[in-house]
Amino acid sequence: MNRKKSINMLGININNISKQNLLSRLEKDLEKKDFKFLTTPNPEIILRALKDEEYFYILNKANYSIPDGIGLKFAGLSLGKNIKRITGADLSLDILKIALKKSKKVLIINWQKGLSSKKDIEEILATKFPGLKYMVVDASRERGKWQNITNKKTPQRKCPWGINDFTPDILFCLFGAPSQEKFIYHSARKIDSIKLALGVGGAFDFLTKKIKRAPCIFRKSGMEWLWRLVNQQYSNKRTKRIYNAIIKFTYKFLRWRFVLPFLYRPSVACILYKRENNNIYVLLVERKNDFNHWQLPQGGTDGEDIEKAGKRELSEEINCDKFKFIKAYKNIYKYKFVQRNEGEEYAKNARKYTGYKGQKQSLYIAKFIGKDADIKINFWEHKDWKWVEENKVLNFVHEYRKEATEKYLELFRKIC
């Protein structure tokens, strides 16, 4: 869908589309060969994405991002938008009906430790949707085991369960967030026949009656959470999730909407260096969606002190902890997010996705003690990395970064 027409909430793009129009589009998509990815963000999912950069990125890469949760509707009203909420449970039933009508094959990847078993789902599908072509697979949601689900061939055998021979058109993943969206993004597209993939968490638990759904009046009013809480249908863990979705999300959204635009985001820039042949080299990374935009690794502090935040951010960006902390400096540089030119996505969206008007940066300095092969930059933010001689760093960093980088290098030279 056109992202320009989406609604942004805490950095996550949400599509505001009627259920009828959505289903009409999905029917057309199922007649094409393109892979489509559908997510159903709710307040809890959005809060989780704020603490998981990979998940944040994946949600914003979905072809359809359909709001599920009354909290999003209320948030939309504060933005002057009447969001059309569509629950994952209802959407799942509608897509199953489309699959039956259009003779499309359905693959359900079920979490093997979930409430509903493979047998439970097969029995209810056979009863509720006679004639539907489906395959249900119980699987682990551990990331290291995903390749065993979707690989056409492993070293010793073909893909388990004959998934590729089944040639499914639609994939439902029931791993729960964020595993289901990460599985779809990384692995589901490897199944060539898939045209639509979506993560629906425990939606099938309502279908199998492992979980009793709230009465219609509660669902239509968006008060399912109250019904569940009063009926003690869920554990204390679920009660905490309801608190996060209702209270915490509201606080975060109101702060993002009305407070952050006047503040600078606390962040940390990282100088990672190594000594080689009597020279000092500094690590630079290139932003993924901004050609030739080289910079120092950096990110938000998330309320942590500089040393802890710098260590976390650097570890996340290079997927490696082979470095030794040297020194940290607090609040060295401050700048506003500004529009630079039409081709640079970062500058255009930084204010929208973070909520802040700019950043105030601290500095974290560390010495690399590993091997270059240990460095694996994160795919959602960067596309390349390189070591640059310290005295040439300013020749490589983007113009937007030169002023700050020069200040950081001055401090770096005093200790190295």
Judge whether 84 and 408 are in contact, CB under 8 Å. no
pLDDT at 219: 62
Residues 10-49 pLDDT 10s:
999 999 999 999 999 999 999 999 999 999 999 999 999 9
Q: Dihedrals φ, ψ of 299, to 5°? A: 180, 175
pLDDT at 342: 38
What is the rounded distance in angstroms from the CA atom of residue 143 to the CA atom of residue 126? 30
CATH code at position 369: 3.90.79.10
What is the rounded distance in angstroms from the CA atom of residue 34 to the CA atom of residue 30? 8
pLDDT at 189: 85
Q: Given the structure tokens 């805490």, which residue do they identify?
A: 10
Residue 90 sits in the same domain as residue 225:
yes
Instruction: Indicate the number of domains in the chain.
Output: 2
The pTM score is 0.88
Q: What is the mean pLDDT of residues 313-322?
A: 95
Q: How confident is the model at residue 157 (pLDDT cuts 50, 70, 90)?
A: very low
pLDDT at 6: 85
Residue 190 sits in the same domain as residue 311:
no
Longest dimension (CA), the chain: 74
Q: What is the mean pLDDT of residues 213-233?
A: 62
Residue 284 sits in the same domain as residue 404:
yes
Residue 271 sits in the same domain as residue 329:
yes
Residue 236 sits in the same domain as residue 371:
no
What is the rounded distance in angstroms from the CA atom of residue 39 to the CA atom of residue 138? 21
Q: Which of residues 191, 224, 255 is at a domain's end?
A: 255
Q: What is the mean pLDDT of residues 390-409?
A: 95
Residue 38 sits in the same domain as residue 178:
yes
Q: Which residue has the higher pLDDT, 221 or 99?
A: 99
Range of the domain at 403: 263-415
pLDDT at 353: 82
pLDDT at 106: 97
Q: What is the mean pLDDT of residues 293-316?
A: 95
pLDDT at 92: 96
Residue 196 sits in the same domain as residue 217:
yes
In DSSP notation, 209-252 reads TSSPPPPHHHHHTT-HHHHHHHTT-S-HHHHHHHHIIIIIHHHH
Q: Identify the CA nearest to 233 among candidates 202, 191, 187.
A: 202
Q: How confident is the model at residue 262 (pLDDT cuts 50, 70, 90)?
A: very high
Q: Which of residues 197, 225, 255 is at a domain's end?
A: 255
Q: Which of residues 255, 290, 310 is at a domain's end?
A: 255
DSSP 158: B
Q: Identify the CA nearest to 67 among candidates 49, 45, 35, 51.
A: 45
